Amino acid sequence: MEETLSLPQVRKLVLLSQRVPPAKPTGSATAATLSAIEHLGYIQIDTISVVERAHDHTLWNRNPRYEASQLAQLLDSKEVFEYWSHAAAYLPMRDYRFSLPRKMALARGDQEHWYDRDDRVIEMVLERIRKEGPLMAKDFDNAGKQPGDWKAKPAKQALEYLFMQGDLMVPRRVNFHKVYDLTERVLPGGIDTSEPEPEEYARFLITRFLEANGLGRPAEFAYLRKNTKRLISATMDEMISNGELLPIRVEGLTFYTLPNSLEALSQPLGRSKLKILSPFDNLLIQRKRITDLFGFDYQIECYVPAAKRQYGYFSLPILWDGKLVARMDCKNERKHSLLHIHHLALEPHLSKLDAFLDALHRELKAFLRFNQCSGIQLHKVSPAGFKPALQAALDDLT
């Protein structure tokens, strides 16, 4: 018989599994950062820097003592590596072998690359990195000044081709530009490089998702992972029959969870803590899931024409009281160390406005420090009647 959970129970389970708001930190700050990456399974990388970048923002929300130097340290110590999850991401090195199915599929031609193969350029790129060591795309831009040279665009495509199929890795970035090196020179000694069998890979995708998210559905386990839906479905059937997965009914929908996951519901959730989330936070990345479970219909509007934006270019979802209650379009004007709140939009269901304001005030103080801002400027609030109270609270921050 399927167990039934209410939406408040489900939201609590999801948030506890996502570790947001975070529990009281223990151990070193760098260890806490590694723990967050290993537990969540990936941290998405994004180039947008309207506020602090997505990977830093997501880690800071799990580890209040987070600093970007910790991520650099974990890359240098080879405890984390860069590759592809559903998108570009930092992944735990302990999971390296589970990046191999995608790499091997690309290398075998079972999955298409983004770029066409150019054997001449690929071999030239590999030969230079073998001889010279780690290189960036700009190191190949000689603008055709010497015979046999080629411009950066084909070389960059070759670098990405080799990176995606596993010949190259990215041991670090310089000013956010990738540095490429041979995989054998980047991997730590003793790492398991055996490709997992298909069922083992499917079990990994299912269990890691559920450990980090509490409960889920087949389409969520296979999210943006090509050619995995049928394999995941077959593996789920076996896991259900063995009692390794439990079906859960939520508002007429069937989800699945691990047998011990529901024990988390006995733990407290820090409902009074407010968190300002990145649009690429692990909690939010599957939009339909968040609509179904949290009633929060979210779209990042930086890809939407300006005239059609409802909330703003880069609105940040706000989590409070176990719910997603607002979104805040922000921009860090770094030249003047000024954080602009272009538009704060409250969800219609948000009540207890005084308590929300207190929680927002506390978190904005920390958010200013995280963004290295000393001032804050409020522009628009929806509903407008909330603006005077918020402005009075912000005046206390500067």
Query: Which of 133-142, 230-239, 274-283, 368-377 comes out lowest in average pLDDT?
Result: 133-142
Angle at alpha carbon of residue 315, lines to 314 and 317, rounded to 5°: 140
What's the average model confidence in pLDDT over 82-94?
Answer: 96
Sheet holding 253-257, edge to edge: 3-4, 246-250, 253-257
pTM of the model: 0.94
Examine the pLDDT at 159 and tell me if it is beyond 70. Answer: yes
Q: Report the relative pairing of strands 381-382 and 338-346 from DSSP bridges.
A: parallel
> Could you give the residue ranges of the DSSP H alpha helices within the chain?
7-18, 29-40, 54-62, 68-76, 100-108, 119-132, 152-164, 183-186, 198-213, 218-221, 229-241, 287-294, 353-370, 387-395
Query: Coil, strand or helix: which one is 188?
Result: coil
pLDDT tier at 141 (50, 70, 90 boundaries)?
Answer: confident
> What share of the chain has pLDDT > 90, as a percent?
89
Question: Which of these, 10, 54, 60, lies nearest to 316 by C-alpha position?
Answer: 54
pLDDT of 143 above 60: no
User: Do the beta carbons of residue 16 and residue 261 sit within 8 Å?
Assistant: no
For position 1, what pLDDT does the model report? 62
- Which structure tokens are listed for 341? 């709140």
**Cα R_g (the chain), whole angstroms:** 23
Six-digit token string for 278: 């990145």
**Residues 304-313: tens digit of each pLDDT:** 999 999 999 9
Q: What average pLDDT score do residues 343-360 get?
A: 96
**Band of the pLDDT at 24, cuts 50, 70, 90?**
confident
**What's the pLDDT at 146?**
45
Res. 147 pLDDT band, cuts 50 70 90: very low
Residue with tokens 């001032």, as numbered in its chain: 375
Under the banding of pLDDT at 50, 70 and 90, the label for residue 142 is: low
Q: CB-side exposure of 24: number of CA atoms within 13 Å?
A: 1
192-219 confidence digits (pLDDT tens)? 999 999 999 999 999 999 999 999 999 9
Place of tokens 């995606």: 164
For residues 235 and 223, the answer to whether their CB atoms sit within 8 Å is no
**Main-chain dihedrals φ then ψ at residue 52, nearest 5 degrees:** -55, 145
Q: What's CA 293's distance to the chain center, in Å?
A: 19
**What number is the average pLDDT over the span 329-339?**
97
Sheet with 80-84, strands from edge to edge, namely 43-44, 88-92, 80-84
Query: Is it the case that residue 150 has pLDDT exceeding 50?
Result: no
Helix H, strand E, coil C: the string for 90-126 is: EEEHHHHHHHHHHHHHHHHCCCCCCCCCCHHHHHHHH
For the four alpha carbons of 146, 152, 154 and 158, in that order, the dihedral sign comes to positive
Name the band, by pLDDT with cuts 50, 70 and 90, for residue 231: very high
What is the per-residue pLDDT for 114?
83
Q: Cα separations (Å) of 26 from 22, 191, 308?
A: 11, 28, 45
Average pLDDT over residues 146-175: 84
Q: Which residues contact 121 (CB under 8 A, 6 or more apart)?
A: 150, 154, 155, 157, 158
pLDDT class of 16 with cuts at 50, 70, 90 = very high
Characterize the bridge pairing of strands 246-250 and 3-4. Answer: parallel
Task: Kindly report, residue by residue over 234-284, the tens digit of the pLDDT.
Answer: 999 999 999 999 999 999 999 999 999 999 999 999 999 999 999 999 999
